[in-house]
Amino acid sequence: MIDLLDKIPEDKQKHIAVGVLLGLALGAHFLIAVVVILIAALGKEAYDYIYNMFISDVHDVDLYDSLATIGGGAVGIVLIYVINSVIGVLV
């Protein structure tokens, strides 16, 4: 598992982590979670694009960053639904 993480660039790991956290935090409200995750993923890349245009060309605009955030969000949402299902069965 550690070898797999070494192959994922640190930047993508951060995007995945943010997506998972958003999915976990908002996953109980599916539609809200999806909208917030999409806004976060695409908003960050829009911010990078605007930053590059007007300030300096430091941040890469990368579609894969957005996909990493969205993928992480999907994992977080699924985890919340699994956790809720298990708790529902136990209670």
Q: What number is the average pLDDT over the span 76-87?
A: 93
If you compute the radius of gyration of the chain from its CA atoms, what whole number of angstroms results?
15
Give per-residue pLDDT as tens, 35-67: 999 999 999 999 999 998 888 877 788 999 999
Taking the whole predicted model, whether its pTM rises above 0.85 is answered as yes
DSSP string, 11-76: HHHHHHHHHHHHHHHHTTSHHHHHHHHHHHHHHHHHHHHHHHHHT-TTSPP-HHHHHHHHHHHHHH
Give per-residue pLDDT as tens, 14-28: 999 999 999 999 988
